[in-house]
Amino acid sequence: MKKLITLLFVLVSTGLLFSQQTGYYNGTSGKSGEELKTTLHDIIKGHTPYSYYISKEIFRQSDVDPDNPDNLILVYTGRSHDASDFGTGGDHINREHVWAKSHGDFADWMPMYSDVHNLKPADASVNVDKSNKDFDNGGIQHSEATECYYTDSTWEPRDAVKGDIARIIFYMATRYEGGNGEIDLEVVDWVNTYPNAQHGKLSTLLQWNLLDPPDDFERNRNNAIYSFQHNRNPFIDYPEWAQMIWDNQNANPLSIDNIEISPAIVVAQEPIQISATIQTLSKLAINATLNWGTSYDNLEYEVEMIADGDVFTGIISGQAEDATIYYNIHANDGTNENSSVVYSFYVPKVFTGDIVSIYDIQGQQDDSPYDGQTISTSGVVTANFGTSYFIQDGSGLWNGLFIYESGRNPAVGDSIVITGKISEYFGKTEMSDITDYYFISSNNNLPEPVDAETGGITEGYESVLTRVYNATCTDANYQGDYYMWKVNDGSGMLKIHNTSIFEYDPTEGVAYDITGPMNYDFDEWKIELRFETDVTEGGDFSAPTVASVEPVLNTNIKILFDEDVETSTAENTTNYVIDNGITVESATQHAFNKAQVNLTISSLVSGENYNITINNVADLVGNVMDEYSTSFSYVGLEELLDNSTLNIYPNPTRNKLNIDFKLLKDAEISIIMTDISGKQIQNKNISAQAGSNKYILDVSDVSKGFYVLRLKTNFGEINHKLIVE
């Protein structure tokens, strides 16, 4: 079904993706020292982490050679190098952890390990020499990175990136403060900091921050990483903050805060209002101007801002469609002056055209009827993996679409209109070669996932949010299968993909409820994981069943269920009925094994047949068992022993334990030693003969403590307390 729309949609261009959100740093003005550091930490924490692997793809935008989009600029040599040539030695590319991962030992510890703000492409052999050294001036010239110098404990990068390195270290010390299971990193004014969670040398880094201010390359890097991680390096946006936090520089007494834009979505040729709260400690009159232009470095237009108390407003005249406008606010009170960071906004294009629904694109068939055509469609973003994302138009089958586009990075919940080419990529319908992208709104509710059986996935589920229930992990070795693990709810196997966004460590035998977009590639169906909430331990919909009924003594019966059972129903004696006049006197749940219940009963007769009926016992989530009946007979172990002869000595023991007994007839006997929690220490099976028997149990390797010794046959068992000294 096609429909013609003439609504205003926001076309998200490269300019908007790589811009500084209005008001991102609201709340920082007037602060310095630890107070400022804490405020910045609260702004940049909780970013979207990607896998370490995906940093190679992010580098293609964050560290790309402006003159050659196929190359990266290597941090220490400055060399332009093939972006695909990653390796472990020579002139290959390494991913350099600027804050060395050994300074705090956070290798493989997310999100620190894969934070791209801390990663730079570097020449592999140079990176070996740089190692985990602290940063400081001096040393001998490096033979390959000839603008770098080093000693046995320090590294001096080339002048063009000295400030870049310093601001990365400042970012790491601000972003990671030890909360939410993360590491606490601190920048210090000394070297030889390994292996502590520290990096130096602070005074040198502060000098570098001033000597090498941010340039276009570094600002582009900050914007590119922000489009993925959704957090920024604040010291690139406002390098003065480093001196205010670590160099005792006071906050400006003239503050500019609470910057806002109205309307939030700009309309072409309509005026745009910028407002801010501007205050001064001097009590002098404040003058403020709004400076704007069409590039970051050229804010050529100046507008006087009008005051209403502390709130100042300025108007930027209406702008043409598809324009990106940069601006900042400058204020002075005759004694002090201050400027805000440079923010930007985008003027959207108006989209009027044909929208093809995703349902029609999928066509309720294997291959799309629009294969090879360039069309526009709309939907809500349900997942974003950096180089691709999924959109969906409503709930239900056939309503999902895979979008292949690196670097767009829409947020989950964004409603969009997108134009691109439909193709069948090895059986998967996808859109690529994107020509236009229109943003409608954010934070929309996601479609309700479609419930499915693991073995019942068909073409209609392709790219649709899907949920499986109570699916047991049958293979947890995702490292051996391209980061995919397997589950089965009884209907068949389905793969679960640990993605660049979220990785779950499953346990074989545990059941899970799993939600995510259903992907199809390499001839396999798989759910793509997005968030922590996509995987929860599965709901229990099965009632308990009886695994075994075993007479232990003539007055005790052990019942094992297939799962832990709820205490009040397990210990209710009316839930157990035994025929032939046997009375159930008490029911006691095991102290540790909640699946075991022992019944104390009136005396059983050896050789007699009995029937037991069990019902109304519930598991821990309230599932109640069906009525269960089984027959059993009892031949007591005491009846096998000649005059109940059983001697166990010495007790306490240190090395060996003697077990003497006489039997009336041959029997298979298990001699089992457990600790007081029921954990088995030894288990020996012997074929005992009628008459005298002696067995020696070696306990020389057993730790001191209290144990239980069990002699067990098919007829019953006898337990003895044992002490090992």
Q: Which of 37-41, 244-248, 627-631, 651-655 has the lowest mean pLDDT?
A: 651-655
Fold of 546-634: Immunoglobulin-like (2.60.40)
Using CA atoms, how far apart are residues 665 and 714, in angstroms rounded to an integer?
A: 14
Amino acid 13: pLDDT: 37
Using CA atoms, how far apart are residues 61 and 608, in angstroms rounded to an integer?
A: 82
Alpha helices in 415-522 (DSSP H): none
Using CA atoms, how far apart are residues 654 and 666, in angstroms rounded to an integer?
A: 31
Segment 467-503, tens digit of pLDDT: 999 899 999 999 899 999 999 998 999 999 999 888 8
Where does the pLDDT of residue 641 fall: very low under 50, low under 70, confident under 90, or very high at 90 and above?
A: low
Segment 17-27, tens digit of pLDDT: 445 689 999 99
Do the domains spanning 351-441 and 546-634 agree at the CATH topology level? no
Q: Which positions ≥6 away from 621 have C-beta within 8 Å? A: 539, 540
In this structure, are residues 514 and 487 in contact, taking their beta carbons and an 8 Å threshold? yes
| CATH no. of 351-441 | 2.40.50.200
Segment 398-449, tens digit of pLDDT: 999 999 997 778 889 999 999 999 999 999 999 999 999 888 888 888 999 9
- High-pLDDT (> 90) share of the chain, %: 67
Q: Is the dihedral of CA 512, 513, 517, 522 positive or negative?
A: positive
Helix, strand, coil in percent for the chain, rounding step 5: 15, 40, 45
CA distance readout (Å), 574 to 127, 499, 519, 561, 583: 74, 52, 52, 17, 10
In this structure, are residues 183 and 102 in contact, taking their beta carbons and an 8 Å threshold? no
The whole-number average pLDDT for the span 436-465 is 92
- Domain boundaries of the chain, sorted by first residue: 31-246, 252-341, 351-441, 465-537, 546-634, 638-724
Q: Which of 8-12, 64-68, 167-171, 702-706 has the lowest mean pLDDT?
A: 8-12
Q: Which positions ≥6 away from 523 have C-beta within 8 Å? A: 426, 427
Fold of 465-537: OB fold (Dihydrolipoamide Acetyltransferase, E2P) (2.40.50)
| CATH no. of 252-341 | 2.60.40.10
SS3 100: coil
| End-to-end CA separation in angstroms for the chain | 82
* Rounded CA Rg of the chain: 36
Edge-to-edge, what's the strand order for the sheet holding 576-578? 576-578, 609-614, 628-633
Fold of 638-724: Immunoglobulin-like (2.60.40)
Using CA atoms, how far apart are residues 520 and 204, in angstroms rounded to an integer?
A: 52
Global pTM reads 0.67
Query: How many residues does the structure list for the chain?
Result: 725
Where does the pLDDT of residue 454 fall: very low under 50, low under 70, confident under 90, or very high at 90 and above?
A: very high
Segment 84-127, tens digit of pLDDT: 999 888 899 999 999 999 999 999 898 999 999 999 999 999 99
**For 412, left (φ over 0), alpha (ψ -120 to 50), or beta?**
beta
The whole-number average pLDDT for the span 646-667 is 84
Where does the pLDDT of residue 192 fall: very low under 50, low under 70, confident under 90, or very high at 90 and above?
A: very high
Segment 290-331, tens digit of pLDDT: 999 999 989 999 999 999 999 999 999 999 988 999 999 999
